[in-house]
Amino acid sequence: MLSDKNNSVLVIVDVQTKLAAAMPADELKNVLRTSNILLRAATTLEIPVLATEQYPQGLGSTHPDIKSQFPDNLVTVSKTCFSCSNSEVFLESLSETGRKQVVLVGMEAHICVLQTAMGLRDHGYQVFVPGDGVCSRSVNHKRNALNRMINNGIQISNVESVLYEWLQDANNNHFKELSTLIR
């Protein structure tokens, strides 16, 4: 199955300042890069974007490198539950988009991303997780989370695949602009 720009929602899960400080530097760099590329593409292609913050009083607000790229109409949901699918506010916001595919990026892969992916799948959504758009404090935890998701019907992808699936054709009016983001 491919992600479809007309049926996708980009969800940025808990990319927060204090949590980011605990991530391996290279992994964090990948998550920030992937998130920003997909944010830019989603904004350009008019794909809805949602973001979550896990207990922001303790873990801080969304990382400024991400927050500065948020579209004006972005919904940010504060939560204490690990799975976004256990937040009524999040589920209502997602449902209002009318879309059935969710592209998840964020942290930590083995906790909030994993639980969200499984929960959204159980709610009937098709879930895509770019492996280069998620991280955990431990690379082994990330690897384990990606394997668990694969074994449970979650589509593990990468930023380049998602971007080109959203574009669909080199004749897309935004192809030149957006393809430069991954070079």
List the catalytic residues: 14, 79, 112
Amino acid at 118: M
- DSSP letter (8 states) at residue 84: G
Which residues are CB-neighbours of 78 under 8 A, at least 6 positions away? 52, 53, 55, 56
Cα gap 16→23, rounded to integer Å: 11
In the chain, how many H helices and how many E strands?
A: 9, 7
